[in-house]
Amino acid sequence: MCTTCGCGDEAGTRISNLAGELQTPRQGHPHSHTDEHGRTYTHEHGHADGHHHAAAGTETIVLEQNLLAKNDLLAATNRGWLAGRGVRAFNVMSSPGAGKTTLLVRTLTELGGRLDAGVIEGDQETSLDADRIRATGRPVIQINTGAGCHLDADMLRHGLDALAPEPGSTVFIENVGNLVCPALFDLGETAKVVIVSVTEGDDKPQKYPHMFMAADLVIVNKSDLLPYVDFDVDACLRRIRQINSRAEFLTLSATTGEGLAAWYGWLDGAASQPAAPTSRTARSVPLTGSLTEAH
Amino acid sequence: MHELSITQSLVDAVLNRTGERTVTAVNLRIGPLSGVLADAVRFCFDVAAAGTPLAGARLQIDEPRGRGRCRSCQDEFNLSDLILLCPCGSADVEVLSGRELMLMSVEVA
Ligand SMILES: Nc1nc2c(ncn2[C@@H]2O[C@H](COP(=O)(O)OP(=O)(O)O)[C@@H](O)[C@H]2O)c(=O)[nH]1
Ligand SMILES: [Mg+2]
Ligand SMILES: [Zn+2]
Ligand SMILES: [Zn+2]
Ligand SMILES: [Zn+2]
Ligand SMILES: [Zn+2]
């Protein structure tokens, strides 16, 4: 296993190229630690910050580090990489079937050339969603996580390497369908978008508080089905507010198109924001044409 | 199950520091608001440690209580989940403890 990036931990992760062909397993990738100036890096692993000696021939080594420290460090690296290129990355998360792929396909189709965007698709096994995205003509990379139920920062790193997004472009990341652990693994994304569909019940925020706490934008999808199901949009919003006071909130239907203008407006606004975890200060990157005009 | 990958990164983090030395005990601190279940980590640990110098190590998990303080009425109370609501009705609650997800120390032979 590579101790710098930690890849190879979850054997079975495979990453496609732009043509959709699966590449060798992730642990097999060549790992140069050589930068663009030809310098080769070696990894120092400093020894115990402070340690004392315990009884009976054993020694206690004090570590006091977060269990997610390695992922968080890689996420910070991704965030810097994205910010340096002015690339925005949106991490789209939901339960299976809430409409992530449908919304992405429709967005890419409707915005067409107005939004220079690519997609990184996370799925446990198939490449069906990547095929749906590829049909729109936009570049897509498939990451199959195998038994893994979430994307982590190292997988995004490899996905970005394979996608090679243009400076100033947008990357949508469709995370593995799961409202539990994707909340814990920071990818270094610009914003976290959480989708809940009206067929799932308006108590989802209570059941999955970590996910809703982490969200920058919550989308209630399948609004076309509201007349047929017992889903109270206001109650859902109130529950999200109890957990997260800053998230934005949109209701839409990815199939009928109702409410999509507000989503395009959000993308337009988020376009001028840097890839920072909390900071939402505007940055002066002009958008060529307003995305909202698309609708 | 994200506890498996978290437990795997735990094993890697320990090995980074201890190398080939036999690890006899691992001490963690996992709060009830961390999003990670201590029992699931216990369950995954033997699998993740197998075949490494951590195999057979004693896993001790300190599980601190979740505590919150209301910024409106200054009351302090226990938190069992992330629904941050003070008995006074305010949702302006500061989490004092419970989100810990820490590798504290290890014992090596
Ligand atoms: N009625 C309705 N169905 C939708 C909507 N969005 C997605 N769906 C359907 O929900 C199912 C799952 O959608 P998909 O995009 O694959 O979900 P994902 O697993 O989150 O990517 C598909 O049958 C979609 O046609 C919507 O707004 N309204
Ligand atoms: Mg999908
Ligand atoms: Zn490496
Ligand atoms: Zn790697
Ligand atoms: Zn997971
Ligand atoms: Zn109070």
How far is C-alpha B99 from the chain's CA centre? 8
- Predicted complex ipTM: 0.86
Quote the CA–CA distance of B20 and B29 in Å, as a whole number: 24
Residue nearest to atom 11 of ligand 1 (CA): A97
Contact A149, A175 (CB under 8 A): no
Q: Which tokens belong to A223?
A: 């609004």
Instruction: Examine residue B80 and state whether it is found in any structural domain, yes or no.
Output: no
- The reply to whether residue B12 touches residue A1, judged by beta carbons under 8 angstroms, is yes
Q: What is the mean pLDDT of residues A235-249?
A: 92
Quote the CA–CA distance of B59 and B10 in Å, as a whole number: 11
Instruction: Examine residue B23 and state whether it is found in any structural domain, yes or no.
Output: yes
A52 CB neighbour count, 10 Å cutoff? 10
Q: What is the mean pLDDT of residues A195-204?
A: 96
Band (pLDDT 50/70/90 cuts) for residue A273 is low
Instruction: Examine residue B40 and state whether it is found in any structural domain, yes or no.
Output: yes
- The reply to whether residue B105 touches residue A183, judged by beta carbons under 8 angstroms, is no
Chain A residues whose CB is inside 8 A of the B108 CB are 58-59, 61
- The reply to whether residue A60 touches residue B28, judged by beta carbons under 8 angstroms, is no
Distances (CA, A) of A73 to A152, A167, A188: 11, 23, 9
Q: Which tokens belong to A235?
A: 């109650």
So what's the pLDDT on residue A30? 41
Chain B residues whose CB is inside 8 A of the A3 CB are 12, 16
**DSSP label at A130?**
H
CATH code of the domain in which B14 resides: 3.30.2320.50
- The reply to whether residue A61 touches residue B6, judged by beta carbons under 8 angstroms, is no
So what's the pLDDT on residue A292? 41
Condensed to tens digits (0 to 9), the pLDDT of residues A13-49 reads: 788 888 888 765 544 344 444 444 444 333 333 333 3
- A266: nearest Cα among A230, A236, A295, A224: A295
Ligand 1 contacts CB of residue A255 (under 6 A): yes
In the sheet that holds B101-108, the strands lie side by side as A50-53, A59-66, B101-108, B23-30, B58-62
Distance from CA of B55 to the nearest CA of A (A): 16
Band (pLDDT 50/70/90 cuts) for residue A198 is very high
Q: Which tokens belong to A141?
A: 């990379």
So what's the pLDDT on residue A245? 86
Instruction: Examine residue B78 and state whether it is found in any structural domain, yes or no.
Output: no
Condensed to tens digits (0 to 9), the pLDDT of residues A139-160 reads: 999 999 887 889 999 999 999 9
**Between A7 and A251, where is the model more confident?**
A251
Quote the CA–CA distance of A134 and A108 in Å, as a whole number: 10
Quote the CA–CA distance of A3 and A154 in Å, as a whole number: 12
Amino acid identity of residue A2, one-letter, is: C
Q: Provide the residue range defining the domain that includes B23.
A: 2-65+97-108
The b-or-e profile of A26-47 (16+ CB within 10 A means b, else e) is beebeeeeeeeeeeeeeeeeee
Q: Does B88 touch chain A (CB under 8 A)?
A: no
Q: What is the mean pLDDT of residues A228-246?
A: 93
- The reply to whether residue B9 touches residue A9, judged by beta carbons under 8 angstroms, is yes
Average pLDDT along chain A: 81
Band (pLDDT 50/70/90 cuts) for residue A128 is very high
User: Which ligand is in closest contact with the Cα of A178?
Assistant: 5
Q: What is the mean pLDDT of residues A220-244?
A: 95
Q: What is the mean pLDDT of residues A172-190?
A: 94
Q: What is the mean pLDDT of residues A205-215?
A: 92
Sequence-distant (≥ 6) Cβ neighbours of residue A203 within 8 angstroms: A239
So what's the pLDDT on residue A102? 98
Torsion of CA A48, A52, A58, A62, to 10 degrees: -40
Condensed to tens digits (0 to 9), the pLDDT of residues A76-93 reads: 999 999 999 999 999 999
- B7: nearest Cα among B60, B53, B47, B51: B47
Q: Which tokens belong to A286?
A: 């002009």
For each of chain B's 109 residues, which pLDDT tens digit applies?
678 888 988 999 999 999 999 999 999 999 999 989 899 999 999 999 999 999 999 999 999 999 999 999 999 999 988 777 888 988 888 899 999 999 999 999 9
So what's the pLDDT on residue B24? 97
**Residue indicated by tokens 């094993």:** B11
Window from A110-124, A253-267, A277-291 with minimum mean pLDDT: A277-291
Band (pLDDT 50/70/90 cuts) for residue A262 is very high
| Probe target for ligand 1 pocket from A92, A101, A102, with the most ligand atoms within 8 Å of CB | A102
Q: What is the total count of domains within chain B?
A: 1
Amino acid identity of residue A64, one-letter, is: E
Question: Which atom of ligand 1 is the closest one to the Cα of A105?
Answer: 15
Band (pLDDT 50/70/90 cuts) for residue A281 is very low
Amino acid identity of residue A120, one-letter, is: I
Residue nearest to atom 3 of ligand 1 (CA): A222
Sequence-distant (≥ 6) Cβ neighbours of residue A94 within 8 angstroms: A100, A177, A179, A194, A195, A196, A197, A221
So what's the pLDDT on residue B91? 80
The pTM of the full predicted model, rounded to 2 decimals, is 0.80
How far does residue A25's CA lie from ligand 4's centre (Å)? Answer: 11
Q: What is the mean pLDDT of residues A177-199?
A: 95
- The full set of domains in chain A, from first to last, is 87-293 (3.40.50.300)
Instruction: Examine residue B29 and state whether it is found in any structural domain, yes or no.
Output: yes
Instruction: Examine residue B61 and state whether it is found in any structural domain, yes or no.
Output: yes
Around ion ligand 6, which residues have CB less than 5 A away? B 70, 72-73, 75, 86, 88, 90
- At residue A105, the 3 state secondary structure works out as helix
Residue A204 has pLDDT above 90, yes or no: yes
So what's the pLDDT on residue B89? 86
Distance from CA of A266 to the nearest CA of B (A): 27
- At residue A181, the 3 state secondary structure works out as helix
Query: Exposed, middle or buried, A21 (CB in 10 Å: 0-12/13-18/19+)?
Result: exposed
Q: Does B108 touch chain A (CB under 8 A)?
A: yes
Window from A38-42, A172-176, A214-218, B8-12 with minimum mean pLDDT: A38-42
So what's the pLDDT on residue A56? 62
Instruction: Examine residue B31 and state whether it is found in any structural domain, yes or no.
Output: yes
Instruction: Examine residue B76 and state whether it is found in any structural domain, yes or no.
Output: no
So what's the pLDDT on residue A213? 92
**Residue indicated by tokens 């270094």:** A188
